[in-house]
Structure 1
């Protein structure tokens, strides 16, 4: 069952200006180490950061909290599965909020899609509660 949906659009030029003005102060405050490493290696660095920023905003909306209610920027991070598919890793208050949304007997699954077409970056997040598998060896 779907327990949360969020989307966000951001102007890549806004992130570009923020990176020029605040640099590492901005990236250290908002992004995880994994996100910074990945984005700093990209030729289109601002677009990479913009997609991740949009993903955090979309995730906070799917959590129903926004960037408040105990949910902080670096508690939500874009990570890639082995297949390359992006998803969100949640920690701290974001993880606590996620767990509050998931009914007993279910486990969370976070679906993420990101895209950019200069000057816009976009992300969608769907949080799903999947039935927990029963231990068949009982």
Structure 2
């Protein structure tokens, strides 16, 4: 079952201007070390940050809160599988919120997709609850 859906559209040029103006102060407030390392290795640094910004906004919407109620930017972190597929991990308040949203007997799966076409970066997040398989050999 679907627990939440969120989307966000971020302007890459706005993120670039914010990086130019606030630099590390902005990076360290919003992005984890892993996200920063990923972005700084890319040719399109601002585009990489913009996609992750959009993903965090989309995730907060899927959690049903937006960026209020105690959620922190770093409570939501985007990384990539070896295949390149983006994945979202939540910690802190976001993880607590996710646990409260997830029905008993289910596990939450966060799906995320990212795209960009200068000057726009976009993210979609879908939070799914899947039934947990009963332990084998138990009756």
TM-score by length of 2: 0.97
SS in 1 for 2:97: helix
Report the Cα offset of residue 118 of structure 1: 0.3
CA distance in 2, matches of 1:6, 1:61: 5
Which residue in 2 is equivalent to 1:34? 34
Q: Name stretches of at least 5 consecutive residues in structure 1 with no aligned partner.
A: none
Matches within 5 A, 1:112-127: 112-127=112-127
Q: Deviations over 1:21-48 (max 9, x none)?
A: 0000000000011100000100100000
Deviations 1:70-107 (A, max 9, x none): 21100100022343211110000000011111000000
Q: Residue 62 of structure 1 corresponds to which residue in structure 2?
A: 62
2:129 is aligned to: 129
Tell me the TM-score normalized by structure 1: 0.98
Match of 2:21 in 1: 21
**3-state SS, counterpart of residue 79 of structure 1:** strand
Which residue does the alignment assign to 2:44? 44
How many residue pairs end up in the alignment? 138
Local SS of the residue matching 1:70:
coil
Structure 1 CA distance for aligned equivalents of residues 19 and 67 of structure 2: 20
**Separation in 1, partners of 2:91, 2:31:** 13
Q: Distance in 2 between matches of 1:94 and 1:82?
A: 25
Runs of 4+ in 1 over 2 A off after TM superposition: 81-84
